Amino acid sequence: MNRLASSALRKGIDPITGLINGNEMMLVIRDHIDLFRRGGGCPPKLIFLDIDRFGGLASMLGEQGIGELLRAFSARLLGAVGRDGVVARGSGDRFFVLFENEAVRDRLVGLFDPPLTILGRAVYAPTSGGAVRYPTDAEGPLQLVRCATLALKWAKRFAPGRIIDFEEGMREDATRARLIENGMREVINDPGKEFRLLYQPKILLETGRLIGVEALMRWDATTVGPVGPSEFIPVAEATHLIVPLGRWLTDTAFQTVKNWREAGYEIELSINVSPVELNSPNFVTELDARRAFYGLRREMIEIEITESHIASDLVVERILRLRRLGYLIAIDDFGRDQSNLSRVVSLPATTLKIDKSVTDGVLHDPRQALVIRSVISLAADLGLRSVVEGLETHDQAVKLREIGANCCQGFYGSRPIDANDIIRMIQVVGLEHYRAVLQAA
């Protein structure tokens, strides 16, 4: 690769990082492909990297901090690649690495898990990547970059923080994502035409009673047929359509809770909030105005946030504000990715939701059972509630009772059901208010 590093000494230099820029990189890729075709060197590989939630970091750090972040990022990247490849900065927070030896890819895995030091403080900049190989995936510089972009988008949606290799199927995924986006734009002014909400009960194992519900979106799209939230939420986030969709969700769910109350049932509601919503201006004020409009009490509304989404000070600040106002805050999917326990406990949360992937192992993997037991007892010591997610079978329920779990959510208690069925269920199992020791934030 050294011969390439020297060919990179042309003009296109990025003034912020001192790396070559994207245009120059295209020439380097072209040169390298030509060289290989003439029988020199090995076939090149390209990785396209992009910092996750860069927008949030940018608003947190300001212009000076972002410059510093980009420099610290490129320094770490250069340190890992060394003389075994060429590093370039594309637009914004996008970086390229061109290399031959697979060892370079290995060095990039987890490279941005530890924080960078920016303006004297630790800043997490988790980074996703898309990887392509010449000539297997594509035959020209532009096509290579296109495939790397698709793999990167795929990584961001399904495996944030990881480097994903390009696969042919991703071309179809990209087409489908566009169809989903178009379909969503068609109904975004009146989502109720095609979107609806289901509510999944949370139950107490001890009494079998219902103690709250989580609102989950469903979409029967005329354009593409029924699409699950795991597929459409990432598209809604990438296009920021999640903001109007989230407004529709809160209106619909708050109206439902109001109806339930008027029918004599005061039911705690959990809603999932995406980091894009949390980052949007006036999120807290708007949410609180909606709540007031429907006359609901804040302590009956829980906001669920996934730990990996809490990457910026702005998000932490918003969560803190919500908590101070009196909303409940749940850390969702706890234990799914590598959870940072000390970070989680430093957040103003009121509930830990233990992920289904942990629950799945409770019967057969003693270590997972131990994880659940420890998290529940830690949560209790911290004055937090805990909810075990994805409980599917009676045997799991028995085991969970044995290790001290009480509040559960999963198909065993009930699948997500519609608002009327919640009332029917309460009439059978009963309703209970679950007020564990909640410490004021």
Q: Give the residues lining the site for ligand C2E (CB under 6 A).
A: 200, 216-217, 228-230, 233, 249, 272-274, 304, 332-333, 390-392, 410-411, 416
**CB of residue 108 to ligand C2E, shortest distance in Å:** 28
Whose Cβ is closer to ligand C2E: residue 166's or residue 219's?
219
Task: Answer for the pair 59, 123: CB distance below 8 angstroms, yes or no.
Answer: no
Distances (CA, A) of 402 to 360, 384, 395, 399, 406: 16, 20, 11, 5, 10
Nearest to 5 by CA among 96, 90, 87, 101: 87
Give the one entry of ligand C2E, Ca ion, none that residue 91 binds, where binding means its C-beta sits below a cut-off of 5 to 8 angstroms depending on kind.
none
Q: Report if residue 307 touches Ca ion, rule: CB under 5 A.
A: no
* Region 313-342 residues binding Ca ion, contact defined as CB under 5 A: 332-333
By the 8 A CB rule, do 132 and 148 touch?
Answer: yes
Least distance (Å) from ligand C2E to the CB of residue 297?
21
> What is the closest distance, in whole angstroms, from the C-beta atom of residue 240 to Ca ion in the complex?
20
Classify 310 as helix, strand or coil.
coil
The amino acid sitting at 255 is Q
193: closest CA among 248, 237, 270? 248
Write down the least CB distance from residue 229 to Ca ion, Å: 10
Neighbours of 260 (CB within 10 A): 21
One DSSP character per residue, 39-53 reads T-S---EEEEEEETT
Q: Token pair 């010449």 is at which residue?
A: 134
Using the rule CB under 5 A, give the single segment among 264-272, 284-292, 319-327, 394-402 that binds Ca ion: 264-272
The amino acid sitting at 111 is L
Neighbours of 274 (CB within 10 A): 20
Which of 141, 335 has the CB closer to ligand C2E? 335
Name the residue nearer to Ca ion (CB basis): 50 or 389. 389
Q: How far is the CB of 87 from ligand C2E (least distance, A)?
A: 35
Select 148 or 328, whichever has its Cβ closest to ligand C2E: 328
Number of alpha helices (DSSP H) and beta strands (DSSP E) in the chain: 16, 17
Binding letters toward Ca ion, positions 388-407, x by CB under 5 A: -x------------------
- Smallest gap from residue 364 Cβ to ligand C2E (A): 16
Q: Among Ca ion, ligand C2E, none, what does residue 233 contact (CB within 5–8 Å per kind)?
A: ligand C2E
Q: Which is nearer to Ca ion, 288 or 304 (CB)?
A: 304
CA R_g for the chain: 24
Q: How far is the CB of 213 from Ca ion (least distance, A)?
A: 11
In the complex, the residues that contact Ca ion under the rule CB under 5 A are 272, 304, 332-333, 389
